[in-house]
Chain A
C-alpha cells in the first residue's frame, strides 16, 4: 500500500467508516426503512445501556485479539485469512482439554485457575500449529496463503464439527454441543453482571495488543518479521531466512488466534459447539486490522469500534424489522475503502486539502 503519515491514516480510516455508514443508511432508505432509526438503533445497541456496553466490550475483546492475529501476519507481508479456522481449532483444543482434565484435576478456585491456564496454553499451541501449516505451504511449496488459509477455514469447521458431533455430544442430546464445562472453569465477571463477559478477558486482549506491539518493535524476531514484510531483499541480505520467517510469522499469528478461541470457549460459550454457528470474528478481524493500518496498538480502538457495530447489529436484529445482515455489508465497504487510500487522497486534492505532496 502507498505510504501515508499517521494523520493521513486516521483521516482515511474516519473517511472510510463515515462513507460506508452513509452508504449503508442510503441503502436502508432506498429499500424503504427509516435510516435515522437505523443509525439510532446501531448506536443504542452499542452504548445505550450498561448491558449493551458489556456486549460491545465482549465483542471488542474477541475482535481486538483476532485483529492482532491478522495484523501480525499482514505486517510481515503475509495474508492470514485463516484466523477464523485457527480460532476454531484453538477453541476446540481448549474445550477438549477441559473436558478431559476436569475429572482428573481438583475442583474449586485453584483447580479452576490451573485448568484455565493449562487449557488456554493448549488452545494457543493448537492455533499456532494450525497457522504454521499454511505458513509451511507458502514457504516451501509457494502455495498462495490467501487460498490455503480459506480452504483450511472450511476444513477446520468441518472436521471440528465432525468430532463434536460424533464423539463429544452427550448421549441423547439433540444439538451438536459438548457437555457444559464445570462451573469453576470460568472468568469472574468483575464489573459487569454478565455471564459471557469478564473484564479479565478484555484485559487479556489489551495486554496481548501491547505485548505484541513490544515483540514487533523491540525484539529481533519482530524486527525480522517487519523487515521481511517491507523489504524482503534487505531482510534476506541481513541474514534473515525468509522461509523460516514466514512459518514463524504464521505460527505466531495462529497462536494469537488460538488464544482468541480459548477465551471464546471459556468466557463466552462454557461448552463447545458446531463451529459453523460461531460468529465470524476471524473475518471481521481483517477489517479491524486494516482500519488500524495493521498496527497492534491501533487495533484496540478499531476493535472497539467494530465491537460496537457488532453489538448494534445484534440489537437491530432482535428489535427492529430490518435485516441486520446489512451491517456485514457495511463492514465489507469499510474494507474496500481502506484498500483504496488513493481515492481519498485524490478527493482531498480536489477539495483543496493538503495537496503539497505528489
Chain B
C-alpha cells in the first residue's frame, strides 16, 4: 500500500491526532496552561512506565487477531500474570526477603504460566470453536475470581504484601546528562524490554516467513492451507504468544512498578487489557503503532499527576478516568479498522 493510500485510509486518525494537538496548543495559549511544567522528565518516565504493560499486551493481542483469533481475554491473562509474578517471587524467596533475582523469577514464571493457560484458551477457541468473545470474557471472569482467591490462600488477603520493584538500569555518567540522561539511561529494564519486543514483533510480522503465515491465517486461511501450512498450528502459536505477552504485561505491573499484587475491585490491571485492544486497533495492527498508542494512553495516566503539580486540581476520581475516555475518543475517531478477513472464524480443515 502506498503512502498516499495509507494517508487517505487513516485520515480520520491523522485528523484526530492533529485536532488534539491543535486543542492542546490553543488551550495552552488561551488559558495560559503551563505546558512546560506538564511535559517534565518525570512525566515522560511515568508515561513510559504506564505504557509498558499496555504495549506488551497490545502486541500479543495483535498477533493473535492477525492470525484470525480475537483474544479478548487479554485483561484476564494480565490479571493472572500480575498475580503469578508476585506469587512466584514471594514463594521462591521463601516468604522472606524478596531480592531482584526473585522478582525476575516471578516475571519469567508469569510469562510461562500464562502461555500454558493460553494453551487451554487456544484449544477451546481453535480446536473446539468456542465463541471467541464469550470465551475471552470468561477468561476475565475466571481471573477476577481465581486471582483474589489464590491470593487469600497464599497471603490471607486479596492483595500481596508489599514487594520491591525491579530496579532501574542506570548507566553511570550518561544518566546525569540533562533531559535525555534520566529518560534513556536511568530506565526500567522492562521499558527497554518492551521496546525490544516491539521491534522484534514488527520485524517478525512484516519480514519473516512466520509473519506472512500469521497474516495469511487471518486473511486467507484457505490459501495458506493450500500452500501446505497448517492454519490451526499458526493460530495456536500466535494465540499462545499473545497469552505469554499478556502474562509478561501483568508481571510488569505487580513486580515491575506497583510493588505487589492488588486484587480488590477489578484488580490492579484495572482495564489495561481492554485499553491494549484499543491500542492495537488504533494502530491498525502495526506493532510500532501499537507501542505509540500505548504511550498515548500511558500519557493519559501520567497526566493526572502532572495536572496536580501545576495546580489544576481535579478530583482524582475524575482524572483517573482519562485513559478510559481517551479509549472512547480513539475508538470513535479511528472508525472502521479493517479487521483481518477471517478473524473470529474458526478454520475447518476438510479432513
- Whether the Cβ atoms of B332 and A137 lie closer than 8 Å is yes
Given A150-B271, A286-B137, A329-B149, answer yes or no on A159-B318 (Cβ-Cβ < 8 Å): yes
Size category of the B interface is 35 or more
Bound-state Cα–Cα, A332 to B146, Å: 9
CB of A333 closer than 8 Å to a CB of B: yes
Is A34 located at the chain interface by the 8 A CB criterion? no
Interface contact B318-A158, CB-CB below 8 Å: yes
On chain B, the residues within 8 Å of A338 by CB distance are 134
Per-residue A-contact encoding for B306-336, CB less than 8 Å = 1, 0 else: 0000000001011011001101100111111
Q: Closest CB-CB distance, A24 to chain B, in whole Å?
A: 10
User: Which stretch, A105-113, A186-194, A300-308, A319-327, touches the partner chain B?
Assistant: A319-327
Docked Cα-Cα span, A131 to B335, in Å, equals 19
Docked Cα-Cα span, A346 to B281, in Å, equals: 35
**Structural contact, B148 and A147, CB atoms closer than 8 A:** no
Kindly report which residue of chain B lies nearest to residue A134, judged by CB atoms: B328
State in angstroms the CA–CA spacing of A339 and B317 once bound together.
Answer: 36
B23 at the interface (CB under 8 A from A): no
Measured between beta carbons, the chain A residues less than 8 angstroms from B124 are: 336, 339-340, 343
Tell whether A158 pairs with B148 under 8 Å between CB atoms, given A143-B331, A332-B138, A339-B138.
no
Q: Is the CB of A151 within 8 A of B324?
A: yes
Interface of A (DSSP majority class):
helix
Using CB atoms, name the residue of chain B closest to A137: B332
Please give, as numbers and ranges, the residues of chain B lying within 8 Å of A343 by CB-CB distance.
124, 128, 130
Partner of A146, one of B131, B133, B153, B334: B133
- Nearest CB of chain A from residue B232's CB, rounded to whole Å: 14
B274 on the A face (CB < 8 A): yes
Question: Cβ of B278: which chain A residues have Cβ within 8 Å of it?
Answer: 147
B144 within 8 Å of A (CB atoms): yes
A261-284 contacts to B, CB under 8 A, are 276, 283
Give the A-B pair count, Cβ closer than 8 A.
137
Contact with B along A138-158 (1 / 0, CB 8 A): 000111101110111011001
Residue from B141, B318, B328 with most neighbouring chain A CB atoms (10 Å): B141
- Interface contact A155-B321, CB-CB below 8 Å: yes
Determine if B139 and A336 form an interchain contact, defined as CB atoms under 8 angstroms apart. yes
- How many residues of A are in contact with the other chain, CB < 8 A? 47
The digit string for B144-159, where 1 denotes a CB below 8 A from any CB of A, is: 1110110011000010
Whether A340 pairs with B128 at a CB distance below 8 angstroms is: yes
Bitwise, A1-35 to B at CB < 8 A (1) or not (0) is 11000000000000000000000000000010000
Known: A81-B137, A335-B141. Is A137-B317 also a contact (CB below 8 A)? no
The contact of B321 among A158, A331, A336, A346, by CB within 8 Å, is A158
Residue among B134, B265, B315, B320 making CB contact with A166, cutoff 8 Å: B315
Are the CB atoms of A329 and B142 closer together than 8 Å?
yes
**Residue B135 CB within 8 A of the other chain:** yes
Partner of A151, one of B130, B143, B158, B327: B327
Q: Does B72 make an interface contact (CB < 8 A)?
A: yes
For the complex formed, measure the closest distance between the CB of A334 and the CB atoms of chain B, giving whole angstroms. 8
Q: Mark B105-147, 1 if CB is under 8 A from A, else 0.
A: 0000000000000000000100011110111011111111110
The distance in angstroms between the C-alpha atoms of A165 and B316, with both chains bound, is 12
Contact, CB under 8 Å: B321 / A332: no
24 CB < 8 A contacts A-B: A141-B333, A142-B335, A142-B337, A144-B277, A144-B331, A146-B137, A147-B278, A148-B327, A148-B328, A151-B328, A154-B321, A155-B325, A155-B328, A162-B318, A323-B152, A325-B146, A325-B158, A328-B141, A328-B145, A328-B149, A329-B149, A336-B138, A340-B128, A343-B128
User: Which residues on A are within 8 Å of B, measured CB to CB?
Assistant: 1-2, 31, 79, 81, 137, 141-144, 146-148, 150-152, 154-155, 158-159, 161-162, 165-166, 276, 283, 286-287, 290, 323, 325-333, 335-336, 338-340, 342-343, 346
